[in-house]
Structure 1
Amino acid sequence: MGESLRTKVVISAVNFTSGGPLSVLIDCLTALLKYDHLDQFEVTVLVHRKELVSQFIKHFHIVEYPEVKSSWLKRLNFEYRKSKVLSEEINPKIWISLHDMTPNVTAEVQYVYCHNPAPFYSVTAKEISLDFKFFLFNQFYKYLYGINIKQNKFIIVQQEWLRARFEKIYNVKTIVAYPNLQEVGEFSYKKEIVKNGTFVFFFPSFPRVFKNFEVILEAAALLQKNRQDFKVIITLDGKENKYSKMLYAKYSKYESIDFIGKLDRNEVFVNYDNADCLIFPSKLETWGLPISEFKPYNKPILLADLPYAHETVGRYEKVSFFNPDDADSLSVLMDKLIDGKLEFEGNSIDTPKAPFFINWDGLVSFLLGKN
């Protein structure tokens, strides 16, 4: 097909530099390369740095904007002024923004991928005192999400509960698209590991107030009054921020709790392999990746009884749920689990309503096709 007849598409991801957000961009571009009708499209990708997507440079037109992430003023200028100019220069039919904000652009079809659930969380007074920046972010994003949101044909989210929130608050059409999940591969749990009778609970996460570390720590403190044959391993050391400093000061005296600090990805999987149970108490998640990573080990999981956790764990037998504000009930579950007396609740979920996609391959076909 001639160059002039190719459909122009812009994918904006100027705010992504690492971790989960960058993986969204990588998954999107990887799916594009597999799309059967890619030769009918001319794709421009807006990124922070070209080297972040170096494997795609020969396939797409990559443009970098390294200054955009340096301040919110520059980010806002890019979304609402620069993007308008770019859209008039490129003249795309489709503009896909992968980072929450709906830019001011001229395009026949717009989509925005929203993967920050912070606006839908009620911050407590205690959490405000420990992380005021998160509170400001929480309030700011409620406003940012609403700007230009009606210009999108669809809002893309990762779970059904987020879809419900967007549809209720903003009255928009939504797509649920599950994230691409990496295979555990060689890390799959194959044998019992001898730990001298110590039962190991594990929770890997960075210490943010909504991650709710204290419910695990308080449960461990309660449990330690009656037994010492267990360990709770958490990935903070008290030096990260005000929240972690508070947790370390209050709970480091308990021998059953190991504050091991930040781990790299391989170290996390080593701990998955050694753990007897994953506890995931977070009150706010778009997905909850450790839950998906731990499932292939077919070992017990204790989860906060919240919609995101049910949807993330999916069909799974060795799981029970607890009130994320009730350390007593969690300690009871932990106690029964150590003794092998816990009767798991198990979990199953219904498939989200259409449009729904299990991964990026189907989502890309939908976004670029007729819908």
Structure 2
Amino acid sequence: MSEDTADSVIHRKAQAARDGFDAREMSPAKALRLALAKSAARLMGLALAVRTVEQTTLPLSQLEDRMGDDGILILLDGPDQALGVMRLDLQMVAALIEMQLKGRVMEGAAEARPFTHTDAAIAQPLINAVLDGLDETLKEAEITECARGFRFGDRVADARSLALALSEPEFDHFRLNLDLAGGAKSGVLDLVLPKRPSNPKTEGGVEGGDRAEKLEQNALNAPVTLDAVLGRMRVPLQDVCDWTLGTILPLSHETLIEARLLAAGRHLVAHVKLGQLNGFRAVRLVDESAEREYARPELAPEEDLAAQALDLGSDPLVDLSPLPSLEDNAPPHHRKSGLQGLGAILRI
């Protein structure tokens, strides 16, 4: 399997996972992704898939460096004389022009060239449609933390002129990495909107309730890395150096059903069971008191368990395909509690 084919399969799986999550919860980043994909298909018949969406806070001092000079820069007009930015890179612009002139996107990357007002005019209907779709989705989801009401304004010659035209101290920066026409081209779209003003402060400063709310938000949004650990063993360094593809490590019977979820510093978060959920490697949190009332499945003999869990074949990843589905095997109070995408992977 070529690298491009592997990437395509991974992207399709990731897209399916994102679509399922979108059905349960909406956010500005997800609203933008949906608005872009729908607008491109409706206006131009362009099959556009969003690989990733990144949302960050962008200070005005970093705007010029972040936008660069390899894309067309469009100034967006908003309510109360607010200004935003949309940037389409060369591949995105080329795809739009090819769809307009030839009815399809040509394979391969487009060659670098200067941008013109004609490029901006071709992109204008799509830009306005994306902004309208974003506003509509945010309104339906009652999301107020993202600025709305922006429209196509004018093309800006370069990032330096763009930075001089803006005055807000901070912006919400959305960067979308795109697959165009089934991978014929790969593009990037940036949307920069001024951050909405925070809640008004009292004369004496921020109220205690506001402080508590801000602290709670910071705590809930803090990144946390969790590791699913199957087990630990002591092995001489000389033996480790002799490991090759296909080496089997002896693990106990309880390895796959009594894994542990560890945070930084080897802090034990929970006991978990390893398995599958919706086709993904996953772990399910275990309530030890409840698990004693829930019958364990019979364990295979040691040699069968090792063959099932650690038969590497031509793939250096542990083959978890024989594992049971966490959704099906979970007791009623545990179902749908799996952490999708958190896999226990062993590499030699």
TM-score bracket relative to the smaller structure? under 0.3
Structure that is richer in strand per residue? 2
Larger radius of gyration: 2
Greater relative contact order (Cα < 8 A, sep 6+)? 2
Structure that is richer in helix per residue? 1
